Amino acid sequence: MATNVEREEQLIELIKESSSKLVVVDFYSKTCPPCRVADAIVNQLAMQYPNVAFYKVDVARFPDVSEKCQVSATPTLQFFRKGKMVDMIRGADKQAITKMVETHSTGDGTETAKAFGVVGHSDLTRLVLKKKSECLNQSDDNPLENVFTEGDSVLESDVDEQLVLHIAFNQPIKLHSLMIRAPADRAPKNIRLFANRMDIGFDDAEASEATQEIELTEDIYKSGGVVNLRYVRFQNVNSLSIYVADNLGDDDVTAIRQLAFIGTAVDTANVSDIRQGEDGHSH
């Protein structure tokens, strides 16, 4: 079972505890139905992962702590290693929460995350807001939602080979790489990326200055489809727009089988901020 935090000082102690193990803090509200779902998930994981410390914080009881940890919705789970928050997830998605625990709980705390062969970064696809994401010129039969899970389904263009994907995230991220898998004859070739530009249309995508332009090749797809980005340009990404100009086979239809976003969530919580609350300061 997860342990309820009964005093503000206890939160400081448990963050210190993260020096030797993964600490998961579940910020919840008693009036929040999804919180009850998250509570059941956390309690089950607590039994499965005895090497991980699970705690619960009632946001109504500790509003100052919740504010300093930038908890804006419940349930919010924050993951701590060595005194720092290394990841965060909002909502009660069992698969996403379990995967995050698995990612951060192995070893002695000295290991680094790894996603699609990219060391030091995680798969952030779980942070995509699917309902707020869209694709221009998508086929009705093969829409954008198909690319967010591994499988045989694809996203396809409709009237021609071009696509504009608008991807929204539920929190700011630092985007290091993209992973694109696609059928060889219809895989995207030339793409243009725009950080925080959900207003981009086809005309804008061709005429505006892109955050980065990339030419994808057969060799890139054969080696796993991972493309490293100019990391310094993608340090605070709330949304990513991807313009696909053409495909490798010069086909009338472009297809994408899977799209993943590799990087780190922006660290929005800080132990020193919490300690200020311990001294009686608030904001």
pLDDT at 107: 54
Residue type for position 162: Q
Give SS3 for 11.
helix
CA atoms within 13 A on the CB side of 132: 13
More confident position, 167 or 50:
167
Distance CA 266, CA 172 (A): 6
Domain chopping of the chain, boundaries = 3-109, 125-265
Residue 135 annotated in active site: no
Residue-wise pLDDT tens digits, 134-179: 999 999 999 999 999 888 999 999 999 999 999 999 889 999 999 9
Among the options 15, 35, 173, 229, which is catalytic?
35
Q: With 50 as the cut, is the pLDDT of residue 273 above it?
A: no
Cα dihedral 247/184/182/136 (nearest 10): 20
Q: Which amino acid is at 90?
A: R
CATH level 3 topology of 125-265 = Jelly Rolls (2.60.120)
- Is 3-109 a domain of CATH 3.40.30.10? yes
pLDDT of residue 105: 80
250-272 per-position pLDDT tens digit: 999 999 999 999 988 875 544 44
* Candidates 32, 168, 227, 271; catalytic one: 32
Average pLDDT (31-45) is 92
Pairing of strands 76-81, 84-90: antiparallel
Tokens of 145: 């939602």
Across the chain, mean pLDDT equals 88
80 close to 265: Cβ distance less than 8 angstroms: no
DSSP element (H, E) containing 191: strand 190-195
pTM of the entire predicted model: 0.62
Is 32 designated active site? yes
Q: What is the pLDDT of residue 102?
A: 86
Residue 130: what pLDDT? 93
